[in-house]
Amino acid sequence: MRASIRSLLYVPGNRTDLFAKADRTEADVIILDLEDAVAASAKHEALSATCRAIGNYAGHKRLFVRINDGVQGLDDVAALAHASKHLDTLLIPKAEGGASFERLVACTDRLPSTVGLQPIVETVSGLYSMRAVCDASPRVVRFSFGAGDFVADIGARHSDERSETLLARSTLVLESRLLRLKPPIAHVAPDFRDHEKLRRISAEDRALGFGGRACIHPAQVPIVNAEFGISESERERALLIVARFEAMAVSGVGSFTLDDGTFVDEAVAKLARASLG
């Protein structure tokens, strides 16, 4: 059973110095990036460095790798198959159903069965082929959302309210639930200095049903962990609701009101259980 994750911190695959720093953060996951964070001229170097980092890793974090798309991604998987000891999950950019994704899935047969897949929805085609992508491999654990490429694909413009991606984000959450996958991962916040915006959009995405957020800077990790996690007071309240509901159920009572006036029934108790993980 794979544990829930709140924060995933991207590190360029060719920056071993940043990998060491990322390992000292509170991020739940480190993503070694072979795609957007690496210049074309440094792709080979990044792949070699990533394979060494995974093979020699002695830490306790979960290690993900975002491979390249297209044929280059197949080469990435082939190389990682020889250095997969500590590899947890592969992120698949621009994932869409069809022959190209099926070729990639066939290539992942070289990896240990414990390695999962996390496709990234970055196009309209990807959004509406989530079921085909999921059906192509039992390794698919969850999806991620790539807002930048998605907005470009639909010809929209970024807005502070993010209305241009609301339907896509909602669909991603609902489809993930329908496919019995773990909650999806929200897109990165490019301006890592704007902590208030990060806090706001993370609260919005958590309320929408996302399970965590990808980060591009260590300073984002504590904020994301706080917004997608559960505080001690929230935990205590959830435990109270669950305990009281179960005790009342024994007496044949299916609903009641807490001292603060909160109405509790099975739906409220179910939500409290879910928040406890």
Parse the chain into domains and list their residue ranges. Answer: 7-228, 232-275
Burial of 127-161, coded b for 16+ CB within 10 Å and e otherwise, reads bebbeebbebbebbbbbbbbbebbbebeeeeeeee
Can you give the pTM of this predicted structure?
0.88
Report the alpha-carbon distance of residue 83 to residue 162 in Å, rounded.
Answer: 39
Q: How confident is the model at residue 181, as a pLDDT?
A: 97
Q: How confident is the model at residue 142, as a pLDDT?
A: 98
DSSP-derived 3-state class of residue 186: strand
Q: How confident is the model at residue 3, as a pLDDT?
A: 65
DSSP 81-105: TTS-TTEEEEEETT--SSHHHHHHH
Q: How confident is the model at residue 277, as a pLDDT?
A: 67
pLDDT, tens only, 162-217: 999 999 999 999 999 999 999 999 999 999 999 999 999 999 999 999 999 999 99
pLDDT, tens only, 57-81: 999 999 999 999 999 999 999 999 9
Angle between helix 195-208 and helix 163-178 axes, rounded to 10 deg: 40
Pairing, β 87-92 against β 116-121: parallel
pLDDT, tens only, 95-150: 998 899 999 999 999 999 999 999 999 999 999 999 999 999 999 999 999 999 99
pLDDT band at 255 (very low <50, low <70, confident <90, very high): confident
Report the alpha-carbon distance of residue 77 to residue 263 in Å, rounded.
Answer: 51
Fold (CATH) for 7-228:
TIM Barrel (3.20.20)
Report the alpha-carbon distance of residue 12 to residue 39 in Å, rounded.
Answer: 10
Of 83, 69, 81, 74, nearest to 35 (Cα)? Answer: 69
Q: How confident is the model at residue 226, as a pLDDT?
A: 96
Distant-in-sequence, close-in-space partners of 277: CB < 8 Å, separation ≥ 6: 4, 230
Asked if 8 contacts 188 with a C-beta cutoff of 8 angstroms, the reply is no
pLDDT, tens only, 7-58: 999 999 999 999 999 999 999 999 999 999 999 999 999 999 999 999 999 9
